[in-house]
């Protein structure tokens, strides 16, 4: 249950009961007993920008419009100031076409292709460091109590991960309120859906936290920075390049979240050690320990 501002909590949430996202497969368990289990589906989605085919991505198939918009935005093919005139999705062809008022031509950019390290391997085009030199993220505080609350809410919310597994989740949060929870076979797709939702709704990024179930790789850090989100958290671990980029752009990077434990490898000066953490008080009650110093 959301701890604050119930009306904001989970504006978009996973739907593990959607029959389009899983199917039943029969097998045998470790005792040789026949069982049926739900497994997530995969289907191709081809993304066009105006008349140009950009990429075909493997996805579970929900929110194709947000995925297309977010992918194009995170590849710097779609600008913040661009006017999107239409988004057309053909469910029979698994094609989504994004049309903009500005004429586009990314033939040269498409020639330079990099495969990402994510599950359901993704693709980025052009120089993946493009534009990072100019990014300096806002110095937004992150309270330890928010992290504990978010982890509890997200990890217990109904999801495809809990019902079928083999999937990643990404959640856009404000303080301790989870707003939009997207899942996909690749963490890059899940974060692109978040980016697409933010673009279409005009949601500001300066006070948000992005939570992911996946590893904190360079790709995840770059996309978070490009979206303008000042904090990225995960229950998984880090890569060295991801940490280096986070430090360069001023991203608060928090990983290995387990219970009331975590590691912060970038932006530790922006952490606020408030109630309910081991550093400044009792882990359960938040009562200050002897000699504890509070920063908020």
Cross-sheet strand order for the sheet of 95-100 = 52-59, 43-49, 95-100, 84-90
Region 220-249: mean pLDDT is 97
Query: Residue 254 phi/psi, 5° resolution?
Result: -125, 125
Read off the pLDDT of each residue in 64-85 and give the average, rounded to a whole number. Answer: 96
Residue extents of the structural domains in the chain: 43-130, 142-272
* Fold category of 43-130 in CATH: Ubiquitin-like (UB roll) (3.10.20)
**Rg, Å, the chain Cα set:** 20
Residue 202 CB neighbours (<10 A): 7
Over residues 91-117, the pLDDT tens digits come to: 999 999 999 999 999 988 887 765 454
What's the fold here for domain 142-272?
Answer: Cytidine Deaminase; domain 2 (3.40.140)
Segment 223-236 shows an average pLDDT of: 97
- Confidence (pLDDT) at 82: 97
Q: Which of 256, 260, 266, 261 shows the shortest CA–CA distance to 236?
A: 256
pLDDT in tens, 144-178: 999 999 999 999 999 999 999 999 999 999 999 99
Task: Write down the pLDDT at residue 285.
Answer: 34
């Amino acid at each position: 249950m959301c701890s604050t501002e119930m009306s904001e909590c989970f504006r978009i949430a996973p739907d593990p009961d959607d029959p389009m996202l899983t199917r039943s497969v029969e097998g045998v368990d470790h005792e040789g007993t026949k069982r049926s289990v739900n497994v997530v589906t995969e289907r191709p989605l081809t993304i066009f920008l105006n008349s140009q085919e950009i990429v075909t991505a493997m996805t579970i198939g929900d929110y194709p419009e947000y995925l297309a918009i977010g992918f194009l935005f995170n590849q710097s093919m779609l600008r913040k100031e661009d006017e999107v005139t239409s988004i057309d999705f053909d469910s029979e062809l698994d094609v989504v076409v994004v049309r903009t008022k500005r004429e586009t031509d990314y033939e040269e950019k498409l020639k330079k292709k990099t495969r990402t390290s994510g599950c359901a391997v993704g693709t980025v085009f052009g120089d993946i460091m493009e534009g990072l030199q100019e990014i300096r993220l806002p110095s937004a505080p992150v309270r330890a109590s928010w992290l504990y609350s978010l982890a509890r809410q997200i990890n217990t919310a109904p999801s495809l991960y809990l019902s079928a597994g083999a999937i990643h989740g990404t959640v856009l949060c404000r303080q301790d309120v989870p707003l939009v929870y997207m899942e996909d076979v690749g963490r890059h797709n899940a974060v692109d859906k978040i980016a697409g939702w933010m673009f279409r709704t005009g949601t500001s990024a300066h006070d948000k936290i992005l939570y992911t179930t996946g590893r904190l790789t360079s790709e995840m850090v770059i996309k978070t920075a490009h979206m303008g989100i000042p904090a990225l958290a995960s229950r998984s671990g880090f890569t060295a390049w991801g940490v280096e980029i986070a430090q360069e752009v001023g991203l608060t990077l928090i990983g290995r979240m387990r219970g009331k434990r975590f590691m912060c490898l970038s932006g530790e000066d922006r952490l606020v050690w408030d109630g309910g953490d081991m550093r400044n008080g009792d882990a359960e009650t938040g009562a200050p320990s002897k000699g504890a110093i509070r920063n908020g």
